[in-house]
A and B are shown apart, each in its own frame.
Chain A
Amino acid sequence: MKHILDNTKIKSPLESHSVLNPKAGNSKRSLVSALILTSLVDAFSILVIYLLVTTTGGNEQVKISGKVNLPTAATSDLAGQSLTIRIQNKQFSIDDKVLNLNQVMDYLLAQTNSKDAAKSILIEADKSMSFETLSPVLMAAGKAGFVKVQFAVMQEGS
């Protein structure tokens, strides 16, 4: 009784890399099934193109602290780089430096006098914060001459 392996050809990796025609003249069936890699390459290419477009969409990235729970809004515009004032636990910080209200005011006044002045302020605050904490910042921004104030929000659906 013939064993199935007697009628089956088992390719060696070295043999399959042979440039010349591998050993011919055998009628044995091959156990190796060829994997069609073309569709896998297509799928990977599409994934790469999609991720490239998502990553380099031309949008400026805004750094937001992970501890701050931003409110959500449906009609917001995309945020760009601007002077960010973070309000957390009733403390104000700019560029990760904790400042009191007078220092925030001085910083904003210095900004308006500098050549590379930011045109607007972006306020990053937790959604549970009360308005009485935010109000002094708005007044300071107004006194420093910042007409436009932006509030950082999470875009609904993102």
Chain B
Amino acid sequence: MITLTHYILLSVILFSIGLIGLMIRKNLLIILMSLEIMLNAVNLSFVTFSRMHANLTGQVYSFFIITVAAAEVAVALAIIINVFRMRQNLNVDELSLMKW
């Protein structure tokens, strides 16, 4: 029988995978994709608790998370295009102008 615990554990595992991907990769695009994995894990958590309480609030929050994630990806990709124009590669190790 699949209970609440299974879905929440799956959500946490996906969040950890996204977190690991965010911290160990050097390519800006892969970092953005890891961020999307984390957002999806949180969506799963919201929808799971929405089913538990039989309340639609979690699903409406999930709707807005998807909307804001779409807007964020559009602006983030525009920034990535500009970074590529300046440096001709997408290596985060080289984005260190603000270090002392």
Q: Do A and B bind each other?
A: no
B residues in contact (CB < 8 Å) with A: none
A residues in contact (CB < 8 Å) with B: none
